[in-house]
Amino acid sequence: MEPVITRFPPSPTGSLHIGGARTALFNWLFARHHGGRFILRIEDTDVARSTEASIKAILDAMEWLELDWDEGPYYQTARLDIYREYLRKLLDSGHAYFCDCTPEELEKRRKEAMAAGRKPKYDGRCRDRGLGRGPHRVVRFRVPDSGTTVLNDLIKGPIFFENAELDDLVIERSDGIPTYNFAVVVDDVTMNISHVIRGDDHVNNTPRQILIYQALGIRLPFFAHVPMILGEDRTRLSKRHGATSVMAYKEMGYLPEALINYLVRLGWSHGDQEIFSRSELVEYFRLEDVGKSPGVFNPEKLLWLNAHYIKERSAESLVPVLRPFLDQRGCSAKSDGYLAEAIRTFQPRVHTLVEMADAMRVYFVEKVELDPAAAGKFLTEAMEEPFERLISAIEQMEDFRQESLESVFQQILNDMGLKFGKIAQPVRVALTGGTVSPGLFEMMGVMGKEAVLDRLKRGLEYIRSR
C-alpha cells in the first residue's frame, strides 16, 4: 500500500469552525491510523478576504485541539510559480485557453441562454480563437463536450456527472491568481496527497477536479466526502444554533478532548461506544465507519461530555487551563496545590471551566455576600448557640482536617440533640452566602481554619443583628 498522506486546507477568511475542525480531525485520524502524514495548507489566494488574524486563529485552534501536522503550513500565495508551471502544461496540451469575454458579455449571453431554455453556462466562444496572454484575460479549462465523469467516493459510492452539463471553468483569473479548483489539484498533486477527505459541499467541485487530473495525466487520489453537520432543526449549522467557532468553545470553558470526542461522533461510530481516548480513536478510525447521513449538532450532548472529561481529569492537570478563567475574575492568587484541592471539590458538580471558575469564587473572596432569602431562612436566632459552640471548638482545633471537622460537628450535634441537617445548611450559608456548595467538610478543609472562622463569626453577627 502506498503511503497515506492527507491534508487539511482551510481558507483564512475567518476562524476555524466546527465543520472544518471535524474535517481536520478525520484527516488527522486517518493519517495517524495508517502511520501516514498529515499536511496543513492555508488556501489564501482570496487575497481580499484572507487575513493574518484568521491564519493565527486557525493555527491556534489546531494547536488547542492537538491536531499536529507533519508538514506545513504551506501557503498558496507562496506557490504561484508552481501553479503557472502546471497552467502552461494545460495550455500547451490544448486543455486550457485564454478568454477575453467581459463580465457584461457573459451575463448577457447567460440571460439569452436561459431565455432560450438552454443551460446558462459558458458557451465556449473563446475556445478556438487562439488568444494569448493579455490584459483582462482569464484562462479557462476546456471541459469535454461529451462523456461521463465518475466520482468513486469512499463514503457515498459512485456518483456520475455528465460532462456536457459542466462549464469551462476559469482556472486563472485576470490578475494571475489561480482559482480554487485548479490550485487545489496542483497542491494535491505536488504534495502527493493520497486521500482527499472533505465536506460533501465539495462534491460538485470534484468532477471538474477529476477532469483536470486527467488532462494532466496524473492518477487520481481517493475521494471521501463527509456529510455536513446540521443544527437540531435539520438546517445547516450556523450561528443561530449557537457558537460555531472552535475557539469560542475554549472561551466557554470546554476541554479540547471533549470537543474532539464529540466531533468524531458526528458522523462516525465504533459500535455503541460513546467515549474514546485519543489513542482509541487512532486505533479504531476507518472511513468505512463514516455514515452517509448528516450529523446533528446537540449542544447538550457536548456539555455532558465536557462534564465527564472535567470529572475524569486529574485536578492538577486542570490547574493551568483553569487559571485564565480565574485571572479574569481576579481569583488566581493561590498556589497550584491550593487550586488543585479547590478544583477537586467542584469537579463532579460543573459542566464547564467557566462554571468552575464562577463557583470557586467562594474560595477567594474575603467577605461572602449573603443571599437575603437564604440568610433569612437559615441564619435564625435558633442557630446562635450552635454557631457559638462551633466557633469555640474550631478555635481550639490544631488538626484542621476533614475527619477532625466531622468529629467536632458530631460532638456538638450530640450535645445539643440536633440532626446534621439542622445545622449544615446554616453553616453552608455563612461560608458561601448560598445554599448550594460542595460537601461541607471538604469545602471547609480547602478554605482553611482562618477563613472558616471569619465567615462563621460574620454569620453569627448576622444572627445576633436580627
The residues that are catalytic are 239
Residue 139 belongs to what H/E stretch? strand 138-141
Residue 145: Cβ-neighbour burial (10 angstroms; 0-12, 13-18, 19+):
exposed
Nearest to 337 by CA among 355, 363, 358: 363
- What phi, psi does 162 have (nearest 5°)? -80, 125
The secondary structure of residue 137, as a DSSP letter, is -
Place of cell 437564604: 374
Residue 135: asked if its preceding bond is cis (omega within 30°), the reply is: no
Nearest to 388 by CA among 434, 453, 448, 440: 453
Residue with cell 463569626: 457
Residue type, 173: R
Distance CA 45, CA 323 (A): 39
Report the alpha-carbon distance of residue 416 to residue 422 in Å, rounded: 11
Parallel/antiparallel/unpaired status of strands 148-153 and 157-162: antiparallel
- Cross-strand partners of 170: 140
Strand partners of residue 270:
none
CA 398 to chain centre: 49
Task: Give the integer Cα–Cα distance in Å for 47 and 65.
Answer: 27
State how far the Cα of 245 lies from the Cα of 439, in Å rounded to an integer: 36
Rounded Cα distance between 121 and 294, Å, is 30
Encoded amino acid at 30, one letter: F
Residue 341: CB atoms within 10 Å: 17
Helix, strand, or coil (residue 175): coil
